[in-house]
């Protein structure tokens, strides 16, 4: 019976209006449930079976939504903020109002950010015990020397109680451009920047490419997003198993 919810909640969840606005809409007889006008806001809807129609337009209920955002630099990983633009403001075509970013990327970091309202999945993806891999493309102001590479890969002191956990480092180029791929399974505050700094270089550009089995869609330009496919949702769930 857990799929049964009140009609006003159904409509408010799907952003038809606020709870009081949808009560007015219902009271005016604009809602039909399975073909019959319903004026009672507390009427129980089976979200899996019942057809809810507002002024001839069918409203489909979504318990969860999942979006992949290519976060641009300059926006913060938050839901609302008085002064700064947030990642949630970039998700313009959403049904649910309870979406949030899964974890944080720094304001100047770009790349893969999952936006959902699935709190349980988010909790599992971010849980330190799950060791979900995150891969970052990193550019630095200078090349990392051999001992820096060793320490990045085997554990480096970033001022926490313990060294970082082993990470995978791939050197893409050194010289004019110092570029690396770093895969870590932790998510400490500013972790990648602090790791490179401890290894002797400053990060000048940072972009997340993947989280668990979810990879950033290369077709998404910074600031663009799309819903996850069913396969991607499943792969994310598998990332925490």
Nearest-approach distance from CB 16 to ligand URA, in angstroms: 35
Short-list 188, 189, 200, 190, CA closest to 151: 200
Residues that bind ligand URA (CB under 6 A): 105-106, 109, 190-193, 206
* 108/238 with CB nearer ligand URA: 108
Nearest-approach distance from CB 190 to ligand URA, in angstroms: 4
* 70/109 with CB nearer ligand URA: 109
| Helical (H) or strand (E) element with 231 | helix 230-239
> Contact, 132 vs 203, CB < 8 A?
no
Given the DSSP bridges, would you call strands 214-215 and 203-211 parallel, antiparallel or unpaired?
A: antiparallel
CB atoms under 10 Å from CB of 5, counted, come to 16
Nearest-approach distance from CB 18 to ligand URA, in angstroms: 34
CA distance 156 to 164: 5
* 124/208 with CB nearer ligand URA: 208
Q: Provide CB contacts within 8 A for 82, sequence distance 6+.
A: none
Nearest-approach distance from CB 154 to ligand URA, in angstroms: 19
Q: Which of 106, 108, 133, 161 is catalytic?
A: 106
* 116/191 with CB nearer ligand URA: 191
CA distance 78 to 87: 6
Tell me, yes or no, if 55 is annotated catalytic.
no
Short-list 54, 68, 42, CA closest to 15: 54
Nearest-approach distance from CB 203 to ligand URA, in angstroms: 7
CB atoms under 10 Å from CB of 37, counted, come to 12
The token pair at 38 is 């319903």
Return the active site residues.
Answer: 106
């Amino acid at each position: 019976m857990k799929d049964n919810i009140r009609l006003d909640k159904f409509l408010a969840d799907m952003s038809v209006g606020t709870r009081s606005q949808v009560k007015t809409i219902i009271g005016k007889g604009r809602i039909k449930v399975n073909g019959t006008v319903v004026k009672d806001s507390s009427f129980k809807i089976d979200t899996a079976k019942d057809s809810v129609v507002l002024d001839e337009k069918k409203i489909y209920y979504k318990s969860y939504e999942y979006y992949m955002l290519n976060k641009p630099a300059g926006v913060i990983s938050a839901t609302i903020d008085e002064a700064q633009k947030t990642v949630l403001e970039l998700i313009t075509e959403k049904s649910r109002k309870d979406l949030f970013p899964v974890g944080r990327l720094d304001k100047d970091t770009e790349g893969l950010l999952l936006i959902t309202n699935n709190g349980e999945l988010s909790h599992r993806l971010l849980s330190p015990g799950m060791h979900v891999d995150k891969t970052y493309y990193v550019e630095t102001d200078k090349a990392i020397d051999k001992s820096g590479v060793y320490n990045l890969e085997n554990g480096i002191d970033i001022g926490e109680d313990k060294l970082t956990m082993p990470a995978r480092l791939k050197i893409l180029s050194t010289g004019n451009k110092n570029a690396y791929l770093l895969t870590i399974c932790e998510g400490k505050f500013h972790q990648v920047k602090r790791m490179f700094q401890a290894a002797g270089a400053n990060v000048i550009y940072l972009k997340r490419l993947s989280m668990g089995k979810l990879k950033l869609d290369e077709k998404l330009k910074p600031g663009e997003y799309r819903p996850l496919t069913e396969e991607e949702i499943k792969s994310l769930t598998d990332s925490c198993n």
